[in-house]
């Protein structure tokens, strides 16, 4: 068994879609980033890579590489799963928390868990996606962006 942790945050920006856990969330602003800036999927990817000691999302998918410009982070997650599998591991479960002052994410959490579970090769009952409010504290509380934490448990195949 191997455990990993991932953390990411992205700033809000005008004129982009908001994608979290591979799910399009209706909102006037999206997140700034080289890919689709899916902060939750990025945290999950880093948790998976960390559990297998395979480095970081920035090493595997550098934001200087034009191949990853505007790409769906689910495609990056698929490639991460290939790396994890090649290293001899499969996913047991993943848990995660999104920290966002806005928008209200509760109606979308189940869809995010199902979307991620499909890519992770596990039942959706093995993927936790939660949302918490920063209670108006700090940059996240000032609605400047969204952050996400994730943990992943892997087992040897």
Shortest CA distance to 83 belongs to which of 45, 37, 115, 41? Answer: 45
CA distances from 58 to 7, 23, 48, 142 (A): 12, 22, 13, 27
Size of the site for Mg ion (CB under 5 A): 2
Nearer to Mg ion, 29 or 42 (CB): 42
- Please state, in angstroms and rounded to a whole number, the distance separating the CA atoms of residues 134 and 157: 38
With beta carbons less than 8 A apart as the criterion, state whether 97 and 148 touch. yes
| Region from 4-12, 63-71, 119-127, 136-144 binding Mg ion, contact rule CB under 5 A | 4-12
Nearer to Mg ion, 13 or 136 (CB): 13
- Residue from 4, 6, 8, 27 touching Mg ion (CB under 5 A): that is 8
Nearer to Mg ion, 70 or 88 (CB): 70
Residues 19-48 that bind Mg ion (CB under 5 A): 42
Nearer to Mg ion, 54 or 92 (CB): 54
CB 37, min distance to Mg ion, A: 6
- Please state, in angstroms and rounded to a whole number, the distance separating the CA atoms of residues 139 and 109: 23
């Amino acid at each position: 068994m191997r455990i990993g942790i991932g953390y990411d945050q992205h700033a809000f920006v005008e004129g982009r879609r908001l994608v979290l856990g591979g799910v399009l969330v209706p909102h006037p602003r999206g997140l700034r980033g080289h890919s689709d800036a899916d902060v939750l999927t990025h945290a999950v990817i880093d948790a998976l890579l960390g559990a297998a000691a395979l480095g970081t999302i920035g090493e595997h998918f550098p934001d200087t590489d034009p191949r990853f410009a505007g790409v769906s982070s689910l495609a990056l997650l698929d490639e991460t799963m290939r790396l994890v599998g090649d290293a001899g591991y499969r996913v047991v479960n993943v848990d995660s928390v999104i920290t966002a002052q806005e928008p209200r994410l509760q109606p979308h959490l189940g869809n995010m868990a199902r979307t991620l579970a499909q890519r992770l090769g596990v039942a959706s009952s093995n993927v936790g996606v939660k949302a918490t409010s920063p209670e108006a504290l700090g940059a996240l509380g000032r609605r400047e962006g969204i952050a996400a934490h994730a943990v992943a448990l892997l087992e040897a195949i």
